[in-house]
Amino acid sequence: MSNSLSNLPRLGIGNFPTPFEELTRFEKIFENGPHIFVKRDDLTGLAMGGNKVRQLDYVLVKAKEVGADTIITTCGIQSNWSRQTVATAVKLGMKAVLVLRTAQFDEAPDVYDGNILLDYIMGAEIHTIKMKISGDPREFLEVQAEKLRREGRKPLIIDLGDATSAQAVAAYADCMQETADQAKSKGVELDAVFVASSAGATQAGLTLGAKMLEGETKKKTRIIGVNVGAYKRDFLIKTIINSSASAAKLCGTDVRVTPEDITLLEDFAGEDYGIPTNGSLEAIRLLARTEALILDPVYTSKAMDGLINSVQSGEFKKGSNICFLHTGGVPALFAYKQSFQPLKNNISSC
């Protein structure tokens, strides 16, 4: 990809490139179905990994540039973004302060589990507010920042805008190049990449990257986002177009993402963000039992449900090649453990 992506400043954290593997046992359940691959961005490193490590590698460069000693950020109680931001702060020798929205949970937890447990173990200072994931907590972030300034510290707020910044999106344009190179090394040209779409930055980057590659290889790879219910369709499409345009300018390319380039599946979010569906729970079990690949209950399981339905509908035939981007999030699974308990009459003693 002839652009300035490789010249963008980054911290050099994380384990890249992440693995690209064929799901040979899983794909056999589909008669006359496609080859199915997985891009393992759950294995990026830093506190159990995930796609945010790749983005933070670029986003948090400014923390070092401005001499920050504290990172303040926000998301939900079981936030992967927050966990990976705390992990990056730890690696940079900085303090981390979290303002977490209760999101899909009614209240802040009495007992820490999943992501918030890891936040606490890594030493984050944790504050919670009762607010939906789509709410705007910036005033609460500024309260914490001002408190730290009075103590003589140098805080940097990493807010909702940073998660969809040009740098965050560029990280996944780069990931698309990495994925295409790995596929090519296996003699594979990808017809589609499936990804969970929440705020839209990862899908924006993949779509931009795929379109940049299309100009060089003449091979069109569809990026298929599965809306997980955090934001409405119109918001997501606007975010993808605007953030990818900012990333394109940063990367020095004239390529632009248009509405025609955006595929967003809307039938797999269920009741609300963070609430599992029958399909997403079955996807978790199916991938675990065919590939020992563990999905999470908020993002990747709903995206996988979308992939499964697309293959079952005959959209991808034998001989085609599709890839699933595993964005991580597995620690949250432990906060949903009640969804996976065996029935009492199925438990036998030795």
CATH code: domain of residue 324: 3.40.50.1100
Q: Cα(294)–Cα(275) distance, rounded to whole angstroms?
A: 18
Token output for 10: 């980054």
Q: Judge if pTM exceeds 0.85.
A: yes
Indicate whether 328 and 211 sit together in one domain.
yes
Q: What is the pLDDT of residue 125?
A: 98
Three-state secondary-structure class, residue 88? helix
**Phi and psi of 87, rounded to 5°?**
-60, -40
Among 179, 181, 156, which residue's Cα sits nearest to residue 56? 156
Do 305 and 218 sit in the same domain of this protein? Answer: yes
Report the pLDDT value the prediction gives residue 158, as an integer from 0 to 100: 96
User: How many domains, in total, are found in the chain?
Assistant: 2
What's the pLDDT at 134?
A: 82
List, edge to edge, every strand of the sheet that includes 192-197. 20-22, 35-40, 321-326, 192-197, 222-227, 263-265
Give the pLDDT score at 2: 47
Retrieve residue 113's tokens.
């589990």
The DSSP string of 113-174 is -HHHHHHHHTT-EEEEE---TTS--HHHHHHHHHHHHHTT--EEEE-HHHHTSHHHHHHHHH
Are 216 and 108 found together in one domain?
no
Residue 350 lies in a domain: no
**Domain contains 345:** no
Co-location of 75 and 179 in the same domain: no
What pLDDT does residue 3 have? 54
Q: Is residue 266 part of a domain?
A: yes
Burial of 16 (0-12, 13-18, 19+ CB in 10 A): middle
What residues in the chain have per-residue pLDDT under 50?
2
Q: Where on the phi/psi map is residue 326: left (φ > 0), alpha (ψ -120 to 50), or beta?
A: beta
pLDDT at residue number 316: 97
17: cis peptide before it, omega within 30°? yes
Residue 22 lies in domain: 5-51+164-340
Active site residues: 79
Same domain, 236 and 99: no
Residue at 108 is within a domain: yes
Helical pair 166-185 and 51-59, crossing angle rounded to 10 deg: 130
Coil vs helix vs strand at 234: helix
Write out pLDDT tens, residues 199-239. 999 999 999 999 999 988 778 999 999 999 999 999 999 99
